[in-house]
A and B are shown apart, each in its own frame.
Chain A
Amino acid sequence: MNLSTFFAEVHPILSGERAAGKRRDFGSEDLLRLSAQLSRSKRSQILAAVYPKTRSALLARLGEAEWRRLESSYFRRHPPRSFSFLECARGFAGDLRRSDRCPPWARELAELELALSEVYVAATARPSAPPAGELRLNPTLRFLTASHALLEWLPSGGGEPPSRQCVILIWRDSKLETRLCEVEGLALAMLAGVQENGSVDPSIGDGLDIWPDLQRLAEALIDSDVIQRNPSPTSGFTSRPTSRF
């Protein structure tokens, strides 16, 4: 048997994609079964590595057979064409939308886990500070809109997450730790201002008696490295009139 024939005819059997049928030239049939089983389990490790909590939640809710079906269906549509588990698994979160049996919160959980993995390995920004006088968003920052309170639910992971519209921030801080938190309207308005103008829009609190709260919020976002500022004492947020912040 030449190598071309080997890869065409034997490889699908060794890798567990096809049964051996009448072939009896692999030596032990038990060892061939073991080989195919181990090979298939290697592929399963891809989704387990990138979506561990989604996998556990769906195994508990839908059972192993349905999880296997989701996994096989995904890899049929997206054969692993990269050595990177993250690249091979990237489409799974979106693919879950095709499944009638997958609850919407599990799709959101998958999107959250994908974002966590992407942020963990995202390019490290050059250590340069933003231009003097400007604020900027952490370059790794991601926004995830969800209709379930995933962060409230994740510590226990039992049952289902409560329904609630929310926005989750995912980012990597200056100690290279991946972090996430849920934010509400004011923080989002503040982040939008930083993204668009490199500053906090001083009008976001107009008509509200919340300046101390806004200031604390801005400092918290800076302390946690969601917003980055030039360390110059005359720049960014601190250059705003203190009467406004």
Chain B
Amino acid sequence: MPRDVTGVGVGVRMEFAQELLDTERQVDWLEITPENWMVAGGKNAWLLAELSRRWTIVPHSVSFSIGGPDPLDEELLAQAFAVIEAVDPPFWSDHLSYSRVGGVYTHDLLPLPFTDEAASHVAERAASFRSRLEVPLLLENPTLYAIPPGSEMSECEFIGASLRASGCEMLLDVNNVYVNSLNHRYDARRFIDQLPLEKVRQIHLAGHTRKGQFVIDTHRGPVPEPVWDLYRYVLRRASSPIPTLIEWDVDIPPLGVLIDEVERARACCREVFGPP
């Protein structure tokens, strides 16, 4: 039976996976990058089994290339199926982007043009994913550096069109909205206002890095204050608490620091919705 996701979780990284098993502090759920756990055996396989005994685990992949032109990668599907067997997730998430063309992986999440054709294409691919893996799929708004040429609508409209066409729910990465708003000079709150928040099933919070005049979505460091502000803004506009996840991928701190961030996210939820 699929398990529930509520409260605030962390993205598991090998650097603290063992420590996580030993901690007595509260983490409500976990997210994994499944590609890192698609292994035949060894420590990762053991850790995944142990973690899934204690927490609900949601796979958040980066390789399905949901917007890409190639058929879904059969090897990836087979490995994803094994992950689903291992952790029995309530849903799976990937990105509203593409990462594989002509059989070659970019290992980067590249933007689609904001068009009806692209939204329909995403819908077909999402349907194919769900029919093969029999698990709901959430789509995350990616970070965009170059704006793809040929777009016929705004990014917000494209997200809405893709969600409507695919029937998928959304993973709202608040940091990505903030980073995009700085790089492309728009108002992040207005962007949030235009999103279908009723379709947001999960939120990501993370850090970023300034590089010259731009900002890069690095998942390095604590969640910056403006991102916390934007998170509270999202919560105030939502009708109920939204499961939230802290991502920290570079210069990973001791687990305690990460769980401090979890507690801060919980405090934001209490501030907006009152005690659970």
Contact = CB atoms under 8 A, between A and B. Distances in A.
B157 interface: no
B263 interface: no
B35 A124 contact: no
B147 interface: yes
Contacts of A43: 106-108
Interface stretch (B81-89, B113-121, B129-137, B254-262): B113-121
A117 B35 CA distance: 15
A11 B45 CA distance: 35
Given A2-B117, A27-B147, A39 B110 contact: yes
Range for the number of chain B residues in contact with chain A = 35 or more
B172 to A, nearest CB: 22
A38 B44 CA distance: 28
Provide the main secondary structure of the chain A interface.
Answer: helix
B93 interface: no
A39 B108 contact: yes
Given A83-B76, A176-B46, A11 B147 contact: no
Contacts of B1: none
B105 interface: yes
23 contacts: A3-B118, A5-B150, A7-B98, A10-B149, A10-B150, A14-B148, A26-B147, A26-B149, A27-B147, A28-B146, A28-B147, A31-B145, A32-B145, A32-B146, A46-B107, A88-B107, A120-B42, A121-B42, A121-B44, A123-B41, A124-B41, A176-B42, A176-B46
Contacts of A88: 105, 107
B183 interface: yes
Interface string A1-44: 11111110011001100000001011110111011101100110
Contact of B63 (A15, A83, A120): A83
A36 B146 CA distance: 9
Contacts of A123: 40-41
B42 A124 contact: yes
B101 A11 contact: yes
Contacts, number: 129
Contacts of B183: 31
5 A-B pairs with the lowest CB-CB distances in the bound complex, closest first: A124-B41, A1-B150, A83-B63, A35-B145, A123-B40
Contacts of A81: 103-105
A15 B69 contact: no
B75 interface: yes
Given A11-B110, A27-B146, A38-B216, A82 B105 contact: yes
Most buried by B among A2, A11, A85, A119: A11
A176 B43 contact: yes
Range for the number of chain A residues in contact with chain B = 35 or more
A66 to B, nearest CB: 23
B270 to A, nearest CB: 37
Contacts of B38: 83-84
A31 to B, nearest CB: 5
Interface string B20-61: 000000000000000100111111111000000000000000
A133 interface: no
B190 to A, nearest CB: 19
Interface in B161-199: 183-184
Contacts of B239: none
A45 B108 CA distance: 11
Most buried by A among B39, B111, B112, B121: B39
A138 to B, nearest CB: 12
Contact of B146 (A5, A31, A80, A82): A31
A82 to B, nearest CB: 7
B73 interface: yes
A80 B46 contact: no
B69 A121 contact: no
A42 B107 CA distance: 6
B179 to A, nearest CB: 12
B251 to A, nearest CB: 15
Interface in A62-79: 79
Given A32-B146, A38-B216, 7 more contacts: A7-B68, A15-B110, A34-B146, A42-B107, A83-B38, A84-B35, A172-B42
A80 B107 contact: yes
